[in-house]
Structure 1
Amino acid sequence: MSCSDGAPADEALADPLIRMTTSSPRPRPVQIGTEEVEGVQTYKYLELWLDNRLDWTSNTRQLYKKTQSRMYFLRRLRSFNICRKLLWMFYQSVVASVLSYAVVCWGGSATKADLSRLEKLIRRASSVVGMKLKPLATVAERRTIDKLRSIMDNVHHPLHTVIHSQRSLISQRLRLPKFRTNRLGNAFIP
């Protein structure tokens, strides 16, 4: 039996390369040139931890550890009776910069449990600094909107045409496409 293009039916029904099921067969080894590339569970790239399940748990775990180590210095500064303004400046430059790095990438797709762990760190830092600090969700939303506006204003950006085509002709607001999974709904560009 063969397909219309002359290829055998077995080749036409080959499994797709990407599967979203929970139990998938072991993938074929990847080769670059003659060298076989080993698959890994997690990979650090530009200070982001990416994993093979396309979730951000490993990234938030590493982020939590890194923020915890920096919180130690914030507590030490408070023990020296430093004024609140300097504590806030230290928090913004040393602790918050780590927490909010690439939040546009992972902020919408992180689980509630991961986000609550990071929010707990922010609440602790708030008590150390002595003033209310912005929650991570607020920072993520503001940065995402800023990124979206910069893409919309830059006609040379590769995503400009994609976003421009999602605008309503009447109100100029962005329309959300219909989707069946939360993965697409939580993505930066659905």
Structure 2
Amino acid sequence: MLKTVEMIVDFRRNTPALPPLTIMNSTVPTVESFRFLGTTISQDLKLDTHIDSIIKKAQQRLYFLWQLRKFNLPQELLTQFYSAVIESVLCTSITVWFGSATKSDIRRLQRTVRTAERIIGAPLPTLQELYTSRVRKRALKITLDPSHPGHLLFDLLPSGRRYRAATTRTARHKNSFFLQAIYLLNS
């Protein structure tokens, strides 16, 4: 019961006052944001808190990359260290949050990648490239697994070569994983 919280996501202009949620005579606390499977989710579905924590973790790990460079490690080992320790932090649940991140947030994250490139002295994949490859890989897995709940969202057109894209009215829906995945699979 201690891990149970209530978060209301409601984009209506006039949100009605709701009575407190009670489970087994215990009132569930209402929160504005919480951490779920490593991703901080906020009431307004903005990612500022989550991206701030990613940047902080990545910058802390850049220190160790600097230290390894001081010891004259080969470029290949520095790149492997970056991939294992820093890129893994930057890409944790990237398919969930990257599509909804603002341009300024992506620039802040990409600055960390550029700093690592300067330390290593070699080009590294951009966050957009990492996002694209991971979305495409996950989407292919979903299309091949009929038991996946999202499998039905990947509907082939009669030609059998392209997937049907759902019509959308909001940017939030357009930037969702499934629509981005369909776009990437069709390109």
TM-score (norm 1): 0.84
User: Which residue is 2:157 aligned to?
Assistant: 168
How many angstroms does 1:28 deviate by? 3.0
2: CA distance between counterparts of 1:79 and 1:55? 38
Identity across the alignment (%): 30
User: Which residue is 2:178 aligned to?
Assistant: 189
1:32 aligns with 2:23: yes
User: Which residue is 1:7 aligned to?
Assistant: none
Using the TM superposition, name which of 153-162 and 87-96 deviates more: 153-162
- Indicate which of 50, 53, 68 corresponds to 2:44: 53
1:180 aligns with 2:175: no
2: CA distance between counterparts of 1:26 and 1:98? 38
5+ unaligned residues in a row in structure 2: which ranges? 1-7, 180-187
How many angstroms does 1:55 deviate by? 1.9
How many angstroms does 1:174 deviate by? 1.2
2: CA distance between counterparts of 1:71 and 1:23? 45
Question: Over aligned residue pairs, what C-alpha RMSD do you find?
Answer: 1.7
Task: Give 2:149's aligned amino acid.
Answer: P
1: CA distance between counterparts of 2:51 and 2:13? 22
5+ unaligned residues in a row in structure 1: which ranges? 1-16
- Indicate which of 145, 149, 157 corresponds to 2:140: 149
- Taking a change above 3 Å as real, the CA distance of residues 18 and 130 of structure 1, as seen in their structure-2 partners, is closer
1:95 aligns with 2:86: yes
Taking the TM superposition and a 5 Å limit, the aligned residue runs for 1:72-87 are 72-87=63-78
2: CA distance between counterparts of 1:53 and 1:114? 16
Using the TM superposition, name which of 176-185 and 36-45 deviates more: 36-45
1:132 aligns with 2:123: yes
2: CA distance between counterparts of 1:63 and 1:111? 15
Task: Give 2:153's aligned amino acid.
Answer: V
SS at match of 1:189: helix
How many angstroms does 1:29 deviate by? 1.7
1:66 aligns with 2:54: no
Cα shift readout 1:91-143 (whole Å, capped 9, x = no counterpart): 01100011111111111111111111000100010110110000001100110
The count of corresponding residues between Structure 1 and Structure 2 is 172
TM-score (norm 2): 0.86
Task: Give 2:130's aligned amino acid.
Answer: V
Residues 57, 111 of structure 1: 8 Å contact kept? no
2: CA distance between counterparts of 1:149 and 1:31? 41
